[in-house]
């Protein structure tokens, strides 16, 4: 017997121009087999899953997840931790994510790289690779990172980061700190090199883009701002038509007006929703320990005692709602910022991020308030 066919019916399928009724999504194994009319003969012979009139969106892809479910990846760079983080975030529609290691020692970095490889090999749902946010950053724009651990990449670092990996590798670095030849070497080896926590000028950033930088980590935050005579990192990011920009849409990291300006300035498809999520997401406790400090999330804001933002308590579903209600985007575009666009940034656009035949059966099912009620990852159904 072949792999059985499942038909998701009675939903509003989010197509390119908005939700459409009267469609069925056929799933066989881990892939979408077809999106067809509800009266297609194949539907009658399939196992039916009734969406009860709810919205069916492509599953969300988050390229910056520090933790969730009470777990911080830095504190527990293990397969078990990755499974717990993924389980916490899939309640909010995240079907693919990059566990993110903020600045740490070389030993912890290697443990994290190996843990992600092992998690992908073992089939931990949702793990697409790793995001190394540091330690090659600028003290002047350190944010919550521990500047005592900042350094330049050596040959061992480059070998560890560039060796064959089961998933994608994203690396955030300060473009003024790392030589252009190293940026070029990393990029040519397949690493997704991203600028962040950087005090660079526009010219330095422009040179780094030409050397292989493909995007910007949490645009506006921890980087030189756009000025009238010195465009800075933000100016380079908004001016460049080819790079992607991650945006934390929690209402705290970036003002809604600044978000609208960035989204309007960037080429279509280059603005990406990220969470920068910390352990409180999907956890009962608002507290976690980072760099020896106890951080408490209050009113959705994660801050140290001295007022420095320490990641976020944002989940992707809330980010999508904020894009619609706070920023004013149509739901279809907000959805793309959470799915198709990050998939393209990661080079996974052929397999992830859209509701089309041949893609992974990764779905987020949302009610009329845009809250997640079901998640599907590679054809496996999870209730919330």
Residues designated as active site:
276
Structure tokens at 81: 């931790």
Give me the helices (H) in the chain, please. 41-44, 79-90, 106-121, 155-162, 180-188, 202-211, 232-239, 256-265, 316-322, 331-337, 340-345
Residues 6+ apart with CB under 8 A from 167: 116, 117, 120, 127, 128, 129, 130
CA distance readout (Å), 107 to 19, 111, 225: 47, 6, 33
Residue closest to 177 by CA, chosen among 212, 143, 202, 204: 204
Structure tokens at 17: 């121009």
- Tell me which long-range contacts 336-340 makes (C-beta under 8 A, separation of at least 24): 336/269, 337/247, 337/271, 337/272, 337/273, 338/60, 338/61, 338/62, 338/93, 338/273, 339/57, 339/58, 339/59, 339/60, 339/61, 340/58, 340/269
**Are 247 and 259 a contacting pair, CB within 8 Å?**
yes
**Are 56 and 13 a contacting pair, CB within 8 Å?**
yes
Structure tokens at 13: 């399928």
Q: What share of the chain is helix, strand, coil (3-state, %, to 5)?
A: 30, 30, 40
Residue closest to 133 by CA, chosen among 97, 171, 99: 171
The CA-based angle 246-249-253, given to 5 degrees, is 90
């Amino acid at each position: 017997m072949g792999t059985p066919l499942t038909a998701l019916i009675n939903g509003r399928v989010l197509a390119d121009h908005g939700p459409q009724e009267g469609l069925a999504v056929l799933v066989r194994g881990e892939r979408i087999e077809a999106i067809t009319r509800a009266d297609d003969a194949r539907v009658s012979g399939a196992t039916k899953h009734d969406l009860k009139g709810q919205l069916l969106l492509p599953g969300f892809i988050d390229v910056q997840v520090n933790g969730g479910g009470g777990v911080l990846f830095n504190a527990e760079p293990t397969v078990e931790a990755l499974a717990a983080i993924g389980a916490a975030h899939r309640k909010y529609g995240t079907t693919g994510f990059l566990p993110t290691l903020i600045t740490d020692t070389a030993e912890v970095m290697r443990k994290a790289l190996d843990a992600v490889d092992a998690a992908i090999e073992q089939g931990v749902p949702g793990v697409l690779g790793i995001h190394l946010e540091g330690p090659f950053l600028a003290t002047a724009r350190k944010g919550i990172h521990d500047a005592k651990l900042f350094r330049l990449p050596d040959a061992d670092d480059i070998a560890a980061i560039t060796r064959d990996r089961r998933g994608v590798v994203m690396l955030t670095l300060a473009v003024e700190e790392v030589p252009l030849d190293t940026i070029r070497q990393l990029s040519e080896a397949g690493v997704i090199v991203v600028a962040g926590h950087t005090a660079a000028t526009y010219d330095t950033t422009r040179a780094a883009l030409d050397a292989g930088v493909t995007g910007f980590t949490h645009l506006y935050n921890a980087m030189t701002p756009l000025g009238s005579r010195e465009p800075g990192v933000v100016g380079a990011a908004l001016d460049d038509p080819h790079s992607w920009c991650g945006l934390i849409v929690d209402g705290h990291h970036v003002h809604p007006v600044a978000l609208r300006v960035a989204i309007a300035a960037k080429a279509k498809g280059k603005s990406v929703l990220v969470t920068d999520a910390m352990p409180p997401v999907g956890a009962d406790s608002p507290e976690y320990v980072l760099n020896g400090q106890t951080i408490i999330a209050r009113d959705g804001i994660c801050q140290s005692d001295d007022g420095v933002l320490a990641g976020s308590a944002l989940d992707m579903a809330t980010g999508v709602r904020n894009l619609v209600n706070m920023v004013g985007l149509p739901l279809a575009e907000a959805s793309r910022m959470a799915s198709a666009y990050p998939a393209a940034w990661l080079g996974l656009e052929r397999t992830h991020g859209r509701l089309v035949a041949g893609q992974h059966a990764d779905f987020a099912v949302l009610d009329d308030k845009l809250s997640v009620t079901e998640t599907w990852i590679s054809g496996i159904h999870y209730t919330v």
